Amino acid sequence: MDSEAVWRADAVALADRISALLTVVRSAEAEIGSLLAEIESRGVMELFGYRSVARLFEHLADVPKAAAEAVVKRARALTPGCALDGTPVPAVAPGTGVAALAGRLSTPMIDTIVGVMTQVPPEHRADAEQHLLSFASDAGHKQVAALGARILAHLDPDGAEPDTTEPATPSRELSLRRKRTGTWELQGRFDDETGTRASALLDSLAHRRTTDEGPDLRSPLERYGDAFSDAIDLALSCPELPMQAGERAHVMVAVSLEDLKSGLGQGILGDGSRPQARTGRATLGDLGTISAAEARIHACDCMLIPAVLGAKSEPLDLGRQRRLVPPGIRRALYLRDRGCAFPGCHRPPRHCQGHHIRHWADGGPTELGNLVLMCAHHHRLLHRSGWQVRIAADGLPEFLPPVFLDRRRKPRRNNLHQPLPFAA
């Protein structure tokens, strides 16, 4: 049809033209398949010098290897062939091959019928193929697939024999490596069950935070990165974590005593001013480094054991036990704060850490009146911003916002956690 005829044609004429062209294309594809089957039966090496028909067609048609192999596989199922010893090999679906040459079947329809026929016993293939081809004249390939499933169920109502072998060990792989920039790359491959459980865990930790700080502007990647960090904190705080060399899993942080006491941050004070900036560093584990301000955060309560060094790098103190919150005091914190005490935070106690109100490095005691329960996010926020926390006269923690949020610095509390249901 020329361009003017196309412009004048109505919808029916356009659809009819497309159908006619599809018939030509499908018939040509089926004829190409039969020619490839003929080449294979004669010997592609003798005729063309190629090792396989698929490789020949890949070069002739300029198509990917997978596409060429699919065409050859389809042609073998529709066209009779010969084995290496010359024995005739009947086609799996010869009637489908005839219909394909006439241009009546789409490629998905052919693959659907062939897929069913390969599972039908040879003595029933003729009848089953006839039913499928009759239904294919008025239905799509998805409906034909459903009919094929019913035919297979009728021929084998008991189904396949149950698999009595032991289930295979799930495939789980994980690679964690540190780059020169100090960042870490994580790659892994897990079975479906492990991936589903990991997704559920991260989803529960990665939802957006809506608190008095304002909207959560983190990207999805950032939220899931923070969720992964929170999941590690949860795992490290688990009492059932295996021992390493007689100790619970831990990371050692080395920082000078001067840097640890100074805080070394550029956070904002309660009055809105900034402290004098410093650039102290701390050694993390074997290779990593963090700022001394980060070391001060971790020195509150977690499984990072500080190694405090003097001016000549001599160890002054290594992991003083009184810094870590004992189990009894931690349980009292759970009962008092009921979760992260920061205003508007919903995190439960198991997601939280004990924060020293008067820092441990400054001589603050590890006792209930000097501790508050905080999630990792708000724990870091408290160390880096102008927020301050104190224990009020009633024994409960309250937070003083920085002046840029409230010039009066009116104390705020978390009213999301339910108090203990004690009778008055």
What pLDDT, in 10s, does the model give residues 289-321? 666 666 655 555 544 445 455 555 545 444 444
DSSP 88: E
DSSP 168: P
Q: pLDDT value at position 286?
A: 47
Q: How big, in percent rounded to 5, are the helix, strand and coil portions of the chain?
A: 45, 15, 40
8 Å CB contact between 403 and 365 = no
Name which of 382, 381, 353, 383 is nearest 234 in CA terms: 353
As a whole number of Å, the CA-based R_g of the chain is 36
pLDDT tens, 375-410? Answer: 888 888 887 777 899 999 988 999 998 887 788 999
**Measured distance CA(34)–CA(78) in Å, rounded:** 8
Q: pLDDT value at position 299?
A: 56
Q: Which residues pair with 421 in a beta bridge?
A: none
Name which of 368, 367, 360, 372 is nearest 397 in CA terms: 372
pTM over 0.85: no
Q: Per-residue pLDDT averaged across 166-181, rounded?
A: 78
* Residue position matching structure tokens 């001067």: 258
CA 195 to chain centre: 7
**Measured distance CA(106)–CA(30) in Å, rounded:** 10
8 Å CB contact between 260 and 291 = no
In total, the chain counts a number of residues equal to 424
Can you tell me whether residue 14 is helix, strand or coil?
helix
| H or E element that contains 386 | none
- Decide if pLDDT at 169 tops 80: no
pLDDT tens, 41-51? Answer: 888 888 888 88
Q: What are the CB-based long-range contacts (under 8 Å, 24+) for 213-218?
A: 213/344, 213/381
pLDDT tens, 185-200? Answer: 888 888 888 888 888 8
- Decide if pLDDT at 137 tops 70: yes
Instruction: List the chain domain ranges.
Output: 6-155, 192-207+218-241, 248-263+277-304, 317-400
Can you tell me whether residue 366 is helix, strand or coil?
coil
pLDDT tens, 221-250? Answer: 888 888 888 888 778 777 677 765 445 555
> Between the ranges 23-32, 328-337, 373-382, where is the mean pLDDT highest?
23-32
Give the pair of three-digit tokens for residue 63: 């198509």
Q: pLDDT value at position 267?
A: 46
